[in-house]
Every structure is written in C-alpha cells, then in structure tokens.
C-alpha cells in the first residue's frame, strides 16, 4: 500500500512515522519550500503549485491520497479522475473546511452553536457588520488563515479604517464579537471510509499570539461540558462526512460550548496522543483512510501535556539543544527538521505524569531547554 500525502510538513512527517508500523510506504507531493517530511521520505514529487496536472499524476501514482494541509483547491480534486475513490478527505469536505464562512453556515443549519457572526463581502458590509457587532470585534478571513494569519482585532474605528485600507478588492470576512473565553478545547474525531467513528478525550488548549502553545489532557472541565463537546464532535463529523481525522476547535463562553473552526486532518492539538493514547491521531488517520478498524483512543496515563517549540526572537540551534532537552527526565522530543524562523513551529515536547500540573512542568522545562542554545554555539 502506497499512500500519497499532499504537503511535506510536520503532520506528514508524523504520519510517515506512524505508518511504518503498519507496513505502509509513502510518497509526498511537496512544494519547494516544504520541510519536515521531505527529509525522511524516499519518494518526493516536487511541484511549484498544486495544479490539476500535477495532482492528477500524483493520484494516479498512489493507492490512496491524503493531506498534510487543506491548501489545494477542491475544484482541482474534483477534476481528477478516480479521486472520489482514492482521495480522503473528499473534495466536499475540503471545500467546507477551507472556508470558515461555509463552516459557520453549516453549523447554524445543523443547530450547533458557534459565536455570533456576520459575513462581509465588501467594505460597506464590513463597516455595517462591525456596527452591528460592536467593539471590540474580530474579523477573520474566510479563506486561508491559520495560526493567527488572517485574524484582525478591531478595538475601535481606527483599527477598522486601517483594515479597510489594507483589504483587496474581493474578500470574504467573518465578523464576530471578541469573546471572553473561559477555556479553549479541541475534539478529535477519527472516522473511517465505511463510517466507523471514534473520539479522543477532550483536550484543553492554550494559544500564544493566536498560535497553539500548550495542550493537556484530561481537560479539567466538568462532565457536562465534555459530553457536550464530544456530542458536537460526533455530529459534525457525520455532517461533513469526514474521512480520517477531524479536529474541531471549540470555545467555552458563559459556561457553554461554541464551535470555532474545523480542520479535516491530524492537528497540532492532538500531538500528545502519540505517547498519551493507545492509538495516536496519526495512526488512526491512516487506519481511517485505509478503512481499517480504528484503534482505541483512551488515555494510557492519568495526565499528559504538550508544549510547542515556537521559534523565539533570536535564532536557536535545536540540534545543540537536544542534549539539555533529553536531560529533563520525562520530556519527550519531536523535532520537525525545519530551519529556524521566528514564531515557526520547530517541534514539540510531550510529558506524561500523574497530574496535568506535573506533566506541564516537565514539558515546559523540556521546551525551555530545547530552545536554550543560541544559533552559532555549535551542535552535535
């Protein structure tokens, strides 16, 4: 079985690592800028963009195809012969996940709560939407935004004026109130091609400058909220007919769960499942795509935590930081074969413990150690 992965980032890297135990071989359809998986995969199809010709040739060369990201135009997938039987998630699921406005409309139609929102397609609609929502407001690009990209905080009229001056002629924005969040959550759902479905424990997430920074389990929330979050996850996975992993980011506001957005692939919030759960999100993504029985998702430890290695202001040498990281007992490193860039996800550290607090202490200490060696200081 050869599985093709569109994209060559860290999610593809961890898919390849999980697939080795399943006897799977891999090919990548990668951009010249891709790092991580391209360092460990023996078959890489380099492209300058994901056009129909290149995607069609890649699909033909693989038994099945899945994704490291959702940056391929769904229309390209729809135009590829045989894609419906070989490419997962489907073009329909990708189309929904690639557009946050369509996500919100789907949730609204399904009766699943999300933050109040208004869709704006031009400057007049944007000003009207902000007037109705009030300050402070948040405007989010419907297409292409992730890790804080395409998110604009509007604290007053001057921020709105600046945003309007920067917008292109054609755009689609979601305008919503800036919420006071009591917690942020992630629900991970594995769903196979034949419709088998399994959910991971609810995960608690913490963002730093709109980028995922820390994740832990158990969430520490009351059972009612967790049950509600899992129910929403199940309903959404069925509604979008996902295949593979579906990650759903959620907010807790005024004691209620609201859906923020969806990602139809393994997700940063689920990296701790590699050590903390009986089957990782990466293994279950592959099982689901191949339509194999899904693996159990329960925690194998009382608590787990993950801390991302985000590129600090000054360049660091992660290879030289590996020794001090490994000196932290219980810190488990995952490095992504990426060159340094400020704010970039360079890796993550996971820790397992008897409590969330202890797991976070170890993961944070390990992350700090990994980032402690300035670039140019020498490496292994």
Please determine, for residue 380, whether its predicted confidence score (pLDDT) is greater than 60: no
Which residue pairs from 49-52 have beta carbons closer than 8 angstroms and sit at least 24 positions apart in sequence?
Answer: 50/6, 50/76, 51/76, 52/76, 52/79, 52/80
In this predicted structure, what is the pLDDT of residue 236? 96
- Beta bridge partner(s), residue 188: 247
In this predicted structure, what is the pLDDT of residue 148? 61
Token duo for residue 181? 């969040």
Q: What is the pLDDT of residues 15-58, one digit of tens each?
A: 999 999 999 999 999 999 999 999 999 999 999 999 999 999 99
Please determine, for residue 379, whether its predicted confidence score (pLDDT) is greater than 80: no
In this predicted structure, what is the pLDDT of residue 145? 61
Indicate the pLDDT class of residue 150, thresholds 50, 70 and 90: confident
3-state secondary structure of 33: coil
Report the alpha-carbon distance of residue 236 to residue 218 in Å, rounded: 22
Question: DSSP label at 201?
Answer: P
Report the alpha-carbon distance of residue 275 to residue 351 in Å, rounded: 8
In this predicted structure, what is the pLDDT of residue 378? 58
Q: What is the mean pLDDT of residues 359-378?
A: 93
List the domains of the chain with CATH numbers: 2-87 (3.40.50.20), 116-177 (3.30.1490.20), 183-370 (3.30.470.20)
Tell me the C-alpha to C-alpha distance, in Å, between residue 98 and each of 15, 94, 255.
Answer: 21, 6, 29
Tell me the C-alpha to C-alpha distance, in Å, between residue 103 and each of 126, 236, 260.
Answer: 19, 10, 9
Question: DSSP label at 331?
Answer: -
Residues 6+ apart with CB under 8 A from 149: 141
Report the alpha-carbon distance of residue 306 to residue 209 in Å, rounded: 17
Does a cis peptide bond (omega within 30 degrees of 0) precede residue 47? no
Please determine, for residue 147, whether its predicted confidence score (pLDDT) is greater than 70: no
Q: Which of 2, 4, 13, 6 is nearest to 49 (CA)?
A: 6
Contact 142, 205 (CB under 8 A): no
Higher local confidence (pLDDT), 376 or 201: 201
Q: Which of 298, 281, 193 is nearest to 245 (CA)?
A: 281
Q: What is the mean pLDDT of residues 149-153?
A: 87
Q: Which of 149, 141, 210 is nearest to 174 (CA)?
A: 141
| Strand segments (E) across 81-219 | 118-120, 137-141, 151-154, 173-177, 183-191, 197-199, 203-208, 211-217
Q: What is the pLDDT of residues 122-139, one digit of tens each?
A: 999 999 999 999 999 999
Which of 55-59, 146-150, 235-239, 259-263 is least confident?
146-150
Residue with tokens 């490193």: 333
Q: What is the mean pLDDT of residues 352-377?
A: 96
Contact 39, 337 (CB under 8 A): yes
In this predicted structure, what is the pLDDT of residue 376? 83
In this predicted structure, what is the pLDDT of residue 146? 62
pTM, two decimal places: 0.94
**Alpha helices (runs of H) in 33-81, residue ranges in sequence order:** 52-61, 74-78
- In whole numbers, what is the pLDDT of the chain averaged over residues? 95
């Amino acid at each position: 079985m050869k599985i093709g992965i569109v994209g060559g980032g860290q999610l593809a890297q961890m898919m390849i690592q999980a697939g080795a135990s399943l006897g799977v071989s891999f090919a990548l359809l990668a951009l010249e800028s891709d790092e991580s998986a391209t360092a460990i995969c023996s078959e890489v199809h380099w492209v300058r963009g994901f056009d129909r010709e290149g995607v069609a040739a890649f699909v033909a060369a693989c038994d099945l195809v899945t994704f490291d990201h959702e940056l391929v135009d769904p229309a390209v997938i729809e135009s590829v012969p045989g894609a419906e039987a070989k490419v997962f998630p489907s073009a329909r699921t990708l189309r929904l996940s690639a557009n946050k406005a369509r996500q919100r409309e789907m949730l609204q139609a399904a009766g699943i709560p999300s933050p109040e929102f208004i869709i704006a397609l031009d400057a007049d609609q944007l000003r009207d939407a902000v007037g109705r929502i009030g300050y402070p407001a948040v405007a989010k690009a419907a297409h292409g935004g992730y890790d804080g990209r395409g998110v604009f905080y509007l604290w007053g009229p001057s921020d709105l004026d600046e945003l309007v001056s920067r917008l292109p002629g054609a755009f689609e924005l979601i305008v919503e109130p800036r919420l006071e969040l009591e917690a942020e959550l992630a629900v991970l759902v594995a769903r196979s091609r034949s419709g088998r479905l399994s959910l991971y424990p609810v995960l608690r997430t913490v963002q730093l400058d709109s980028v995922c920074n820390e994740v832990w389990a158990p969430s520490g929330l009351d059972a009612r909220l967790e049950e509600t979050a899992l129910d929403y996850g199940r309903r959404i996975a069925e509604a979008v007919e996902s295949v593979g992993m579906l990650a759903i980011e959620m907010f807790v506001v005024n004691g209620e769960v609201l859906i923020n957005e969806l990602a139809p692939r393994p997700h940063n919030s689920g990296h701790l499942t590699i050590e903390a759960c009986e089957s990782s999100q990466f293994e279950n993504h592959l099982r689901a795509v191949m339509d194999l029985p899904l693996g159990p998702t329960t925690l194998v430890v009382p608590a787990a935590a993950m801390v991302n290695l985000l590129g600090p202001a000054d360049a660091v040498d992660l290879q030289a930081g590996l020794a001090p990281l490994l000196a932290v007992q219980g810190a488990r490193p995952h490095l992504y074969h990426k060159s340094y860039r400020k704010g970039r996800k360079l890796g993550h550290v996971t820790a397992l413990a008897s409590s969330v607090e202890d797991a976070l202490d170890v993961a944070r200490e390990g992350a700090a150690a990994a980032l402690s060696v300035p670039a140019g200081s020498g490496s292994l």
